[in-house]
Amino acid sequence: MAQKKYTLPDLPYAFNALEPYIDAKTMQIHHDKHHGGYVNNLNAALGKHPHLFDVPIESLLANLNSVPEDIRSAVRDNGGGNLNHSMFWKLMGKNMGGDPVGELSGAITKAFGSIDDFRKIFEAAAAQRFGSGWAWLSLDAFGKLTVHSMANQDNPVMEGRIPIFGLDVWEHAYYLTYQNRRPEYISAFWKVANWKEADLNYRNALENIDRCLSVADLRKVS
């Protein structure tokens, strides 16, 4: 039986849907070339150990030491790139923005004091990430919301957290419009943030916090 390979997900909106905040050319290159490259490279790596196609990418990233050494770096970089971007596209949309909604809104206020305080903390995490990486709002193993940043294409599952909301601060995500002005890009992101999707992520995370990794998944990796 042929193994099921990863495929590049479609954008849930047109390339120009996020203008003027994120331009169409950036979105096309970011999605088609960068995310597409991660998908292709991930498939090539897993093709050397085809049984790993059956393991959720979250489990592979959370247990990298169990991934065969010859593909470990490729899985980390490209598996993380695929997982991060597959989530990222859904966290933006046309005519979005505003404040967090639903259960997530109350949880953010409880964790950080106010929505404004959360924004400041998140913006700082995104702006101060040296080089390439992401800013994240994640749920930790104790059900606490935390803001943090991670380098390159690393994903919060690698630290035992569940990602809720993330911002790509690699230069390719913003350079055509903002050049080296990352803080401007970060501010613009709030105008397109899809808080309904983030709230859905939060509610799903609460339901799954005790079973992020199943015993079956761990057995497949090993």
Question: How far is residue 180's CA from residue 221's CA, in Å, rounded to a whole number?
Answer: 41
Tokens in use for 219?
């057995």
pLDDT at res. 216: 35
Question: How far is residue 110's CA from residue 38's CA, in Å, rounded to a whole number?
Answer: 36
Pick the CATH number of 24-92+214-221 from 1.20.1260.10, 2.60.15.10, 1.20.58.1030, 1.10.287.990: 1.10.287.990
pLDDT at res. 3: 54
Q: Which residues of the chain have pLDDT under 70?
A: 1-3, 210-222
pLDDT at res. 90: 98
pLDDT at res. 221: 45
- What is the CATH code for 102-210? 3.55.40.20
Q: Phi and psi of 141, rounded to 5°? A: -65, -15
pLDDT at res. 141: 87
Axis crossing angle, helix 115-128 with helix 102-112, rounded to the nearest 10: 80
pLDDT at res. 208: 81
pLDDT at res. 113: 97
Spell out the domain ranges in the chain: 24-92+214-221, 102-210
pLDDT at res. 119: 98
| Residues ≥6 apart with Cβ < 8 Å to 219 | none
